[in-house]
Amino acid sequence: MRPVNLLPERNRPRGPSGGQKGSSYFLLGGLALVLIGAVVYVLTLNSINSSRDKVTTANAEAARDNALANQLTPYGNFQQIKTQRVASIMQLAQSRFDWERLTRELARVLPNGVWLTSAAAAQSGTPGQSGGSTPSASSSSGSSSSSPSLVVDGCAPSQAAVAITLVRLRELQGANDVELSSSTQPNANSGGAGASSSSGSGGGSSSCGSVGGAAQYAFEATVTFATQSSNTTAPSWLGGGS
């Protein structure tokens, strides 16, 4: 026998009819999307905060490194200044003319009986005379304005000794040219074997006097040197050495 429910329709318990099948899945899907969005938001926010922390740390390290570099800057400047000064000193040393060596060479090349009364030297051009006179036109025109030069006044017993002196001066280390400005015998009487003789004009010394009754010749010569002579080694007989 089939049971009969006598309750009215509105009072009867309701059961699933299947008319809204799947609605619960949509609800669960929506909740899942909200959860996933929240997780993505949190992860993104954490990544942004981590990147900001890294940027802050990098800026702090850059500031620290810059401060350290600023502290070490004087050492770099000192090294640069040192390099420049060493280069300047080397350039000056290479272009310097060795006047001390020239003095020793003069003492070796002068012939016997010939001596100097004055000497004037210049790093470039022709120097003025120590006695107040100026170099002759011939010596000035023959010397280079950029080359070292030496003007000497001296005394010799004869013209032949003056000629030998010119040849010997040419043997100075680095000498390019030797010019005779003047050669006179101021104390000699005119006429005969003791007549006054001269070569060139002006210059020379008038205080040579006489030796053994013979008047001495006063001469003036200009020696022009090569600019690179200071970098060469003089031979041993001129005072050079190892």
52-81 pLDDT tens trace: 889 999 999 999 988 888 887 887 788 788
CB-CB contact of 121 with 106 (8 Å): no
CA–CA distance, 93 with 87 (Å, rounded to integer): 10
**Quick check: 153 pLDDT over 90?**
yes
Per CATH, domain 99-228 is 3.30.200: no
**Quick check: 131 pLDDT over 50?**
no
CA–CA distance, 187 with 209 (Å, rounded to integer): 7
pTM for the model stands at 0.50
Helix (H, G, I), strand (E, B), or coil: what is residue 120? strand
What is the domain partition of the chain in residue ranges? 24-96, 99-228
Q: Hey, what are 216's tokens?
A: 């001495």
Mean pLDDT lowest among 77-81, 103-107, 114-118: 77-81
Q: What percent of the chain has pLDDT over 90?
A: 21
Angle at 113 between CA 111 and CA 117, to 5 degrees: 90
* Residue 19 confidence (pLDDT): 55
Condensed to tens digits (0 to 9), the pLDDT of residues 190-236 reads: 433 333 444 444 444 457 888 888 889 999 999 998 865 445 566 66
Q: Where on the phi/psi map is residue 96: left (φ > 0), alpha (ψ -120 to 50), or beta? A: beta
Q: Where on the phi/psi map is residue 78: left (φ > 0), alpha (ψ -120 to 50), or beta? A: alpha
**Quick check: 100 pLDDT over 70?**
yes
Condensed to tens digits (0 to 9), the pLDDT of residues 3-43 reads: 777 777 777 776 666 555 556 778 888 888 899 989 999 99
CA–CA distance, 221 with 165 (Å, rounded to integer): 9
CB-CB contact of 227 with 182 (8 Å): no
* Residue 91 confidence (pLDDT): 77
